[in-house]
Each structure stands twice: as structure tokens, then as C-alpha cells.
């Protein structure tokens, strides 16, 4: 990452373009597919996958998100919910990044309320017809295959489908003017009577609940992204304070700067321990949705604080993307929001510890919370 990505990332981040020429080099890391065993995938432990995620994010969050969407969402859905034929057909090339995947759940009108999605799947002879829209879908403008969730018009349940990028009626348009993860190509997807053959319906997705086993793993990975980002910010600040001088002394010699650096270091140690704990709970089959949500929300909160301190420490250079910290500061904002906003993840944990669901205003609930 430091050799291949660091020298070019600011240029591509500023242009909001993805460096497609590095995809084979990212594939050579052999981390795509993460925890999936077989089919040419690395078969890492959840902890190994988490550390790899953090180390990529330590240099560049956009590349980390590109891999996460491809690996911990698209590939994992096929591995956990796909047929044996689908796994053998799609996973080997995805594992080598010879093909790229994306994962489409969110819609223009349904973000946090994703279970209410409106995209439809209608059964026809030999397959399904998909109709609707998706929004904020990472990798979607160039992905070779798209894992798309839609509501079965017969059962009214959520089903999953593998759609090829050249499918008639499918268009993906890049979302412009983002302030964070600018290299990631997020898109608006329009599905106009897109036909998907029966062989590309994911048999393991019969309801919205079936997405939760994928999101449980990906939420751990997302929690490790800000850990890596914070490590990168600390690395840069530590080096900068020792090299830059003011008032005849290195900035590292000033007590207030040392206090800020130590506060950042303390945050990172705590974030690593929470992330590590999540991994161990998952490996032992004991992790709950509330624990995953608490980990993701709390770690991203601490990462924001850490990046803000880092931005202070660099003074004027703290607003230049060239010095990594400003870029990381901006990249943390979408991570704070995606895979469940801070508030939604807090409410998931709150429901688990109290037994009361508080996602909807009391006036809209069909029954009293009490």
C-alpha cells in the first residue's frame, strides 16, 4: 500500500477518479474474499481479515472501501447465500480481482429504513424482472456483477439477485461532489425491466433477515477501517511533530502537542481492543447484532475525535490532502454514516439491551413502547 498507493492517492482523490491500474496489485495481496474458504479465496480468520482491512485503510480508505464492498459484501453474499454452482462460477475470478463486484441494498428513499425497499422482482418464465432504483452503491459504475436486493411481488419478501453489468435496462451513474472517499465510485442504479435468469437468483436470500448474517461480518470490517485510518493519522502526526520546528524546537518537544499525541494513541489502543473483542466474539459464535453495532458506532466516533486532533496538530498543513490527515478527516465522514449511521447503530444496541425498539417516532408506532 505504501509503495504502490501512497504516491498516487492524493492525485486520484482530488480528481475523484479510481486508479484502475492498481486493481491487479490489490488482487495480488490475496485478501479479496477474506474469510471465505475454498473457491480460490484466502480463508482468513475474521481477525486476520480485520487486520488486513485496517492496514489497507491505514494508507488509503478509498482502496479499503473498494475491497470491503467487493469482498465483505458482494463475495460474502454469494458465499453465504449462493448455490454451489454460483460459488464455483463467480468466486474464483472475484477472489483474484479479475472481476469486480458491488452490493446494492440502499435506495433513494430508503437508507436507514432499508427493509422497506421498493425495488421489485417479478417472476416470469425462466427468471425474474427487476424494476426500481438503488443509490450510494460503491463500485457500481464499473462492477462486472451487481448483487441486488429486491422485493418479491408474490411473497412480498426481500430476495437477492446477481446481475451482470451489461444487462439490458441497467444503468449506473456516478454520484459527483462527495467530500469523502472520493476515489470510491458510488453510483445511482436504475433498473428498467432488467431480466435475471433463475440461475442468478440467490437461493439463500428469502427475507430481509438473511442480509443480517452478511452485515454482521461487514460491520466488523467497517469497524476496523477507522482503526486503520486513525493509525495512519497518528503515523503522520508522530513524524510531523518530530520533523517540524517552531520557536527553535521540534513541535514534539511541546507539552500540549505531546498530550494530544498521547490522547490519539490512547484512543487507538481502545479502538483496537474493541475491534479485537468483536472478532473473538464472532469466532466463538457469540457476537450479537447489538455488539457489532456498538463496536462500529463507538469506534467511528473515537476515530473522528482522533482525526480532528491530528488535523489540529498539523496546523495549516492539516487542511492539505497531501499530508494525509485532511484526507483521512474527510474519509471518516462517510464511514461514520455507512453500514448504519451512528444513531441507527446506537438504537440497534439500545434495543438489544433494553428490549424496546425505538426506530420510529412514538406517534407513528402501532403500539406504545410501554
Q: Can you tell me the mean pLDDT for 294-315?
A: 98
Binning the chain into helix, strand and coil, the percentages to the nearest 5 are 55, 20, 30
Q: Are residues 348 and 233 part of one domain? A: yes
Burial class (CB in 10 A: 0-12, 13-18, 19+), 54: buried
Q: Are residues 232 and 118 part of one domain? A: no
What was the pLDDT predicted at 362?
Answer: 73
Question: All 3 cell numbers of residue 149?
Answer: 436486493
Q: Is residue 360 part of a domain?
A: no
Q: Considering 99, 122, 150, which residue would you say is the last residue of a domain?
A: 99
Q: Considering 169, 202, 235, which residue would you say is the last residue of a domain?
A: 202
Q: Are residues 57 and 130 part of one domain? A: no
CB atoms within 10 A of CB 48: 15
Q: Are residues 53 and 42 part of one domain? A: yes
Q: Is residue 173 part of a domain?
A: yes
Specify the DSSP class assigned to residue 22: G
What's the rounded Cα separation, in Å, for the pair 196 and 139?
Answer: 20
Q: What would you report as the CA-atom Rg of the chain, rounded to the nearest whole angstrom?
A: 21
Question: All 3 cell numbers of residue 351?
Answer: 434495543
DSSP string, 90-152: HHHHHHTTSS-EEEE--BTTBSTTGGG---EEEEETTEEEEEEEEEEEETTTT-SEEEEEEEE
Residue 367 has pLDDT above 80, yes or no: no
Looking at the 3D structure of the chain, how many domains does it have? 3
163: helix, strand or coil: strand
Query: Average model confidence (pLDDT) for the chain?
Result: 96
User: Domain of 111: which CATH number?
Assistant: 2.40.110.10
Reported confidence tier of residue 365, pLDDT bands at 50, 70, 90: low
Structural domain of 46: 8-99
Residue 369 has pLDDT above 90, yes or no: no
What was the pLDDT predicted at 316?
Answer: 96
What's the rounded Cα separation, in Å, for the pair 43 and 251?
Answer: 44
What's the rounded Cα separation, in Å, for the pair 251 and 261?
Answer: 11
What's the rounded Cα separation, in Å, for the pair 224 and 293?
Answer: 13
User: Domain of 67: which CATH number?
Assistant: 1.10.540.10
Q: Can you tell me the mean pLDDT for 77-93?
A: 98
Side-chain half-sphere CA neighbours of 214 within 13 A? 30
Residue 370 has pLDDT above 60, yes or no: no
pLDDT in tens, 190-230: 999 999 999 999 999 999 999 888 988 899 999 999 999 99
CB atoms within 10 A of CB 106: 20
Give the global pTM.
Answer: 0.94
Q: Are residues 197 and 157 part of one domain? A: yes
Residue 363 has pLDDT above 80, yes or no: no
Q: Considering 154, 183, 202, which residue would you say is the last residue of a domain?
A: 202
Q: Is residue 365 part of a domain?
A: no
**Percent of the chain whose predicted confidence (pLDDT) is above 90:** 93
Q: Is residue 16 part of a domain?
A: yes
Q: Are residues 238 and 197 part of one domain? A: no
Q: Are residues 84 and 66 part of one domain? A: yes
Q: Is residue 333 part of a domain?
A: yes
Of 219, 179, 130, the closest CA to residue 329 belongs to: 179
Reported confidence tier of residue 366, pLDDT bands at 50, 70, 90: low
User: Domain of 339: which CATH number?
Assistant: 1.20.140.10
Of 144, 71, 66, 135, the closest CA to residue 105 belongs to: 135
What's the rounded Cα separation, in Å, for the pair 290 and 174?
Answer: 33
Residues 6+ apart with CB under 8 A from 349: 290, 291, 293, 294, 297
Q: Is residue 1 part of a domain?
A: no
pLDDT in tens, 112-159: 888 899 999 999 999 999 999 999 999 999 999 999 999 999 999 999
Please count the helices (runs of H) and the strands (runs of E) in the chain. 11, 12
What's the rounded Cα separation, in Å, for the pair 61 and 307?
Answer: 13
Q: Is residue 362 part of a domain?
A: no
Question: All 3 cell numbers of residue 85?
Answer: 454452482
CB atoms within 10 A of CB 360: 11
What was the pLDDT predicted at 114?
Answer: 86
Q: Are residues 299 and 181 part of one domain? A: no
Q: Is residue 366 part of a domain?
A: no
What's the rounded Cα separation, in Å, for the pair 159 and 120?
Answer: 9
Residue 364 has pLDDT above 80, yes or no: no
What was the pLDDT predicted at 298?
Answer: 98
Q: Are residues 347 and 217 part of one domain? A: yes
Q: Are residues 192 and 217 part of one domain? A: no
Q: Are residues 38 and 91 part of one domain? A: yes
Say if CB 23 and CB 97 are below 8 A apart.
Answer: yes
Say if CB 232 and CB 58 are below 8 A apart.
Answer: yes
Residues 6+ apart with CB under 8 A from 277: 295
Residue 368 has pLDDT above 70, yes or no: no
Q: Are residues 335 and 237 part of one domain? A: yes
What was the pLDDT predicted at 361?
Answer: 80
Q: 186 vs 43, 90, 174, 234, CA distance in Å?
A: 28, 22, 6, 28
pLDDT in tens, 244-270: 999 999 999 999 999 999 999 999 999
pLDDT in tens, 6-21: 999 999 999 999 999 9
Amino acid at each position: 500500500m505504501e509503495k504502490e498507493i501512497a504516491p498516487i492517492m492524493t492525485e486520484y482523490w482530488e480528481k475523484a477518479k479510481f486508479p484502475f491500474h492498481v486493481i491487479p496489485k490489490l488482487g495480488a495481496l490475496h485478501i479479496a474474499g477474506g474469510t471465505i474458504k475454498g473457491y480460490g479465496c484466502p480463508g482468513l480468520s475474521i481477525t486476520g481479515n480485520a487486520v488486513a482491512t485496517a492496514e489497507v485503510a491505514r494508507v488509503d480508505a478509498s482502496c479499503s472501501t473498494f475491497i470491503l464492498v467487493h469482498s465483505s459484501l458482494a463475495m460474502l453474499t454469494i458465499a453465504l447465500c449462493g448455490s454451489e454452482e454460483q460459488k464455483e462460477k463467480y468466486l474464483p475470478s472475484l477472489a483474484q480481482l479479475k472481476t469486480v463486484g458491488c452490493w446494492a441494498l440502499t435506495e433513494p428513499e430508503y437508507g436507514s429504513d432499508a427493509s422497506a425497499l421498493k425495488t421489485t422482482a417479478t417472476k416470469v418464465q425462466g427468471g425474474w424482472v427487476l424494476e426500481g432504483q438503488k443509490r450510494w452503491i460503491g463500485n457500481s459504475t464499473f462492477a462486472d456483477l451487481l448483487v441486488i436486493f429486491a422485493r418479491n411481488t408474490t411473497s412480498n419478501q426481500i430476495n437477492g439477485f446477481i446481475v451482470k453489468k451489461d444487462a439490458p435496462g441497467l444503468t449506473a451513474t456516478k454520484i459527483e461532489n462527495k467530500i469523502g472517499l472520493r476515489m470510491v465510485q458510488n453510483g445511482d442504479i436504475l433498473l428498467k425491466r432488467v431480466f435475471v435468469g433463475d440461475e442468478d437468483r440467490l437461493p439463500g436470500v428469502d427475507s430481509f433477515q438473511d442480509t443480517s448474517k452478511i452485515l454482521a461480518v461487514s460491520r466488523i470490517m467497517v469497524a476496523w477501517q477507522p482503526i486503520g485510518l486513525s493509525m495512519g493519522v497518528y503515523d503522520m502526526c508522530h513524524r510531523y511533530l518530530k520533523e517540524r520546528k517552531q520557536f527553535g524546537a521540534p513541535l514534539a518537544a511541546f507539552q500540549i502537542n505531546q498530550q494530544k499525541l498521547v490522547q490519539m494513541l490512547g484512543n487507538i489502543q481502545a479502538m483496537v481492543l474493541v475491534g479485537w473483542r468483536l472478532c473473538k466474539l464472532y469466532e466463538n459464535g457469540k457476537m450479537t447484532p447489538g455488539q457489532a453495532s456498538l463496536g462500529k458506532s463507538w469506534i467511528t466516533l473515537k476515530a473522528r475525535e482522533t482525526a480532528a486532533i491530528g488535523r489540529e496538530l498539523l496546523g495549516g498543513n492539516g487542511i492539505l490532502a497531501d499530508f494525509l490527515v485532511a484526507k483521512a478527516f474527510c474519509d471518516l465522514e462517510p464511514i461514520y454514516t455507512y453500514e448504519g449511521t451512528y444513531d441507527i447503530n446506537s438504537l440497534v444496541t439500545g434495543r438489544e439491551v433494553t428490549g424496546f425498539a425505538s426506530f420510529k417516532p412514538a406517534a407513528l408506532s402501532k403500539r406504545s413502547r410501554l
